A and B are shown apart, each in its own frame.
Chain A
């Protein structure tokens, strides 16, 4: 299913889409695949696979730690593509989130081709703004990959218009000025940002991320956004579990709680 279809379906059901994030290869490639399948089974509509990177400047401590573990375990770019393929094969919509340098190193066009072949429908680029994305825009058009750029509370209206104009599938609205990581309350800046995005691009679904980690927070965000993006809280289930079985149980429980949240807007 494409991202647009996932959002259309959720809209028809009068609910928000739940996007769950997990770094590939954390703590091993197979374990991360199992985690992502569990998340999907328990209610995540879209799996956002993060490609572990050595210098993740948009990520807080939890995802940094998970990325470090994955890299220390020897995960390679091709392993991330393998994880995407395994999850996409179950019929779940999969998008990739990655910092830009690994794609540039792989070769931009080859990466878009292989990402499409693996079954991913889109790519989220936290440190690539449309201003520098000429090569990616061309490659993603060629291979039919949706483009998700980020907008932030600090974005001007002009930049929101420009950025959403280059998105396809959905736009990622960062709920607050900060890095990934669960927060105790939902940012007050988020509803205003979403309203500004809608004014610029009425037909483009808006996913909100950063700081959402509970069912109640998911419900709060689902009240004004089309999608709720959860990363660190899910990753923490695995990071802090004493064993794999406990980690997977917590992952399913939290996914189910979040899935209920996005349905109780």
Chain B
């Protein structure tokens, strides 16, 4: 099966995706689509993008054979080290691409939404580099639990706007960014942070982060002489996952696993697992799986990971789930934090809590995969980000903050 031809020209992945937006945004989306099509085949643009990724972001990221983790999990585990990228996550790839597109469109202002602050920091970084004005919308609750990232964005010259509407988290930041965009679309590009939203965003973001999978595939062939048995990633909106999956979709023997944030457990209702615990709906411009009640009102999501704490998912993941090409499973907060600790202790790598979900899910699927294959499986895990931003959350979770240190909400370290 191949998704090379997807989405269709109107942005549909099967019955998912599309454009459920106010008419006011259609012209901007059409313009973005046209500029992107041109950039895709423009060698000058592509060389500029490749140059920034190589010289500025520090890619290709390493594919690292994690020996002690492998021993602990009973598999050959390779970590795709996106945590080593500039700004600490895969997101830098997307923002550099979109910031370049912004310049191509002749616009000088970008807006972005952010949950944990990672996409906001990445956007502020790209905006500083390419001399763009940057405004970041962030739920008020998130500005408090990620205060350090707020400071980072401001240092980089961005304006951070706390959003006080609705549940004051990522989905509300996205609403507010869309409202800004409806009013400012002539001069402003919406630098959407994940492979979701209205067409052409899911496709553009997928392509800009798609280098993760292209690199990983080549690295596997070079370092192992073969493809892995499985590729795994965490899924919130789904950009890091689609970024590593896409190059492998045509390799039918390579299993693809996406791990959603199961929060307290999907059965408790307190989770962010849109595919495994949600239902078909329309949110933020696309038809996909959504956490919603019987009336189609969006339900608040819950996860220890701010970056996965979102009640929707990119439409291509909905499609990969429906076709069975990728398998999606929930991972609870507790499972993710156990994996977080395991990676710290076995490899000396502090992962983002988002990426810890990928590790935890990988640990869960290994026994069945080994049994099915009749040998030790080889698994590539997308280590999408580093855990510096999560030290406070994890320190509090494990009860290991210094005895004389009081935990003050909003003073993340």
Contact = CB atoms under 8 A, between A and B. Distances in A.
Interface of A: 53-58, 60-61, 64, 68, 71, 76-77, 100-106, 126-129, 131-132, 149-156, 159, 163, 174, 177-179
Closest 8 CB pairs of A and B: A105-B296, A152-B24, A102-B296, A178-B183, A101-B296, A54-B298, A57-B178, A154-B27
Contact of B186 (A58, A60, A127, A177): A177
B178 A154 contact: no
Contacts of B26: 129, 154-155, 159
Interface residues of B, number: 38
Contacts of A60: 179
A105 to B, nearest CB: 3
B185 interface: yes
Given A127-B22, A129-B26, A156-B27, A106 B166 contact: no
Contacts of A64: 165-166
Contacts of A153: 24
B166 A68 contact: yes
Interface stretch (B13-21, B117-125, B136-144, B314-322): B13-21
B297 interface: yes
Interface majority SS (helix, strand, loop, mixed), chain B = mixed
Interface in B1-33: 10, 18-28
Given A105-B281, A105-B292, A149 B297 contact: no
B19 A132 contact: yes
Given A102-B296, A154-B27, A155-B23, A57 B179 contact: yes
A104 B296 contact: yes
A101 B185 CA distance: 24
Contacts of A126: 22
22 contacts: A54-B166, A55-B298, A56-B175, A57-B175, A57-B178, A61-B165, A100-B20, A101-B292, A104-B280, A104-B281, A105-B294, A127-B282, A132-B19, A150-B22, A151-B23, A152-B24, A153-B24, A155-B24, A155-B26, A159-B26, A177-B183, A177-B184
Given A132-B20, A150-B22, A152-B22, A53 B179 contact: no
A129 B282 contact: no
A105 B295 contact: yes
